[in-house]
Structure formats: C-alpha cells, structure tokens
C-alpha cells in the first residue's frame, strides 16, 4: 500500500531537486526522496563510523581488496573476538589482478575503527570499505 505525501518549496529548490535526482541516477522522484530521507535520518541519528560512540553496535559489510600474501592477517580478523564475522566470501578478480574478501560483520564502532585502521596499515591490502547496514526500528529480519 502506498500513500501520497507532498511538501512545498521554492521554485529554485524544486529545480535543484530535479537536477539532484537526475544526477543521482534515479528515475523515480518518490524513491529518491524516500532514500534521501532514510539516509539523512540515519546520518543524523548515528553519524559516520568515525564519529559514532565507541559502544554503538552495528551490522555491516567489510570489503577488502588485497594481493596474495596477507591471508593470515585476514584470518586474524575472521577469528577476532572483537568483531563477529557472520559470513565470509573470497573472489579472485582477474581483470583487476586483485583478491577481494567480503565479510558480513557485527560489532561495536570502536572495534570496527580499530580493525579498519589495522587493515589500512597492512602492506598489500589495497583498499578497505565498510558499509554500515541501515538501522531500522522494524523490518523483515
């Protein structure tokens, strides 16, 4: 079931909004406004990982691009008691000449910051991304 909501704004912002929607690759204004609202509310509520309180617990995904030889360092992370690794996947990206590990993880903000700093300071780890799961008060799981 959907519901129509409306809001008023000045003409200049209305034009900017259409431009933002187009630039973002959205073809549906309602979906853009929904996603923008959810992202904004989450940023206001929790902020980015760097600014979160140490004890904030979150789910997320860590993506680590690296060259062979650092698997032991990644195994340390997978067996860490600070961060719970729920699932783990490895792929060899032959066009990029890079390995990538993707991990679904749960832990507190302090532990994630420490782990990511450690990974970023490890030789032959080329790129580390952490994507926090959107925080919902209720949902499918």
- Min CB(112)–Zn ion separation in Å: 24
> Which residue's CB is nearer to Zn ion, number 61 or number 98?
98
E strands, 1-141, in order: 57-66, 84-93, 98-108, 125-132
Beta carbons of 59 and 108 less than 8 angstroms apart? no
> Which residue's CB is nearer to Zn ion, number 92 or number 133?
92
Beta carbons of 104 and 86 less than 8 angstroms apart? yes
- Min CB(66)–Zn ion separation in Å: 9
Contacts with Zn ion by CB under 5 A lie at 92, 99
> Which residue's CB is nearer to Zn ion, number 8 or number 94?
94
> Which residue's CB is nearer to Zn ion, number 95 or number 137?
95
- Min CB(71)–Zn ion separation in Å: 9
- Min CB(121)–Zn ion separation in Å: 21
Beta carbons of 108 and 53 less than 8 angstroms apart? no
Beta carbons of 49 and 59 less than 8 angstroms apart? no
E strands, 1-124, in order: 57-66, 84-93, 98-108
């Amino acid at each position: 079931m959907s519901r129509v909501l409306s809001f008023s704004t000045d003409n200049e912002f209305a034009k900017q909004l259409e431009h933002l929607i187009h630039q973002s690759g959205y073809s549906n204004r309602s979906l853009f406004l929904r996603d923008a609202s959810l992202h904004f509310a989450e940023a206001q509520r929790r902020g980015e990982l760097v600014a979160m309180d140490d004890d904030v617990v979150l789910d997320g995904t860590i993506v680590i691009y690296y060259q062979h030889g650092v698997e032991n360092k990644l195994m340390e992370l997978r067996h860490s008691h600070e961060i719970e690794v729920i699932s783990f996947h490895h792929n060899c990206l032959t066009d990029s000449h890079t390995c990538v590990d993707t991990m679904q993880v749960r832990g507190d903000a302090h532990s994630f910051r420490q782990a990511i700093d450690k990974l970023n300071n490890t030789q032959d780890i080329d790129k580390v991304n952490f994507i926090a799961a959107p925080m919902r008060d209720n949902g499918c799981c």
